[in-house]
Amino acid sequence: MTLKHTACFSTSGGYMASIIPKGVRQFFAGRAEGILSMNAQTKFENAGQILWFGDNVMTIRTAASVENDQISIIECRMPAGGSSPLQVTLSGDELIHILEGMMRFQVGDTVFLAHVGQTVMAPKGIPHDFQILSADGATCLIVTQGGEFEQMVRQMSRPAPSVSRESFPDNRVNSSIEVVGAPLP
């Protein structure tokens, strides 16, 4: 899943078809149409787990496993004004597909807006972050390969039913994601 450039595109665009793995492309296309069109395994261990990750509600939609090439898909619901720290993913590219709302991204030196139906790529090794611009917050799917992001989310989260909203924990977790700067202002 390693690419050498940043991309922002819609699920109906031909560009997506040329660079995104077929299974991920089918997942996004089915999601955009309100149905899941993948024929692959539909049940994975720990899938569906809901977690508080700072102020965000994270739902593990597909847990990384050997059966799915270690691809993890996490749905992230974030409040208005929320943001991520500037970070570098060391193990692989990160795809962020926006389901609801509008977000401002910084990937490398490029700052841009993305909205419902668009997918943003943060290539391996390139600093990236985002901020939620929509008054009602935003929801996105975060697709990674290797399981490190999912592992970090699980380690730094609490089960959603038993925790109140609180600020992002200020502790480091052994992972292949490095925080390298502050969130977008």
Q: What is the pLDDT of residue 62?
A: 92
Structural domain harbouring 89: 8-163
Say if 137 falls within a structural domain.
yes
Local confidence band at 150 (pLDDT 50, 70, 90 cut-offs): very high
- Give the total number of structural domains in the chain: 1
Q: What is the pLDDT of residue 183?
A: 63
Say if 42 falls within a structural domain.
yes
pLDDT per position as a tens digit, 53-111: 988 999 999 999 888 889 999 999 999 999 998 999 888 899 999 999 999 999 999 99
Instruction: Output the domain CATH number for residue 51.
Output: 2.60.120.10
- State pTM to two decimals: 0.67
Highest mean pLDDT among 60-64, 137-141, 146-150, 155-159: 137-141
Residue 32: how many CA atoms within 13 Å on its side-chain side? 17
Say if 3 falls within a structural domain.
no
pLDDT per position as a tens digit, 22-63: 455 555 555 444 433 344 444 545 568 899 998 899 999 999
Round the average pLDDT of the chain to a whole number and report it: 76
The mean pLDDT of 123-150, rounded to a whole number, is: 94
Say if 45 falls within a structural domain.
yes
Single-letter amino acid, residue 113: L
Q: Which of 69, 65, 74 is nearest to 43 (CA)?
A: 65
Say if 37 falls within a structural domain.
yes
Q: What is the pLDDT of residue 114?
A: 97
DSSP structural state of residue 14: H
Single-letter amino acid, residue 179: V
Cα separation, 137 vs 32, whole angstroms: 19
Q: 10 and 118 in contact (C-beta within 8 Å)?
A: yes
Q: 82 and 119 in contact (C-beta within 8 Å)?
A: no
Give residues with Cβ within 8 angstroms of 162, minimum separation 6.
none
Mapped onto helix, strand or coil, the DSSP state of residue 81 is coil
Say if 182 falls within a structural domain.
no
Say if 110 falls within a structural domain.
yes
DSSP structural state of residue 126: S
Name the region of 128 (left: φ>0; alpha: ψ -120 to 50; beta: rest): beta
Q: 79 and 137 in contact (C-beta within 8 Å)?
A: yes
Say if 83 falls within a structural domain.
yes
User: What percentage of the chain reaches a pLDDT higher than 70?
Assistant: 63
- Residue-wise over 44-61: b if at least 16 C-beta within 10 A, else e? beebebebbbbbbbbbbb
Q: What is the pLDDT of residue 184?
A: 64
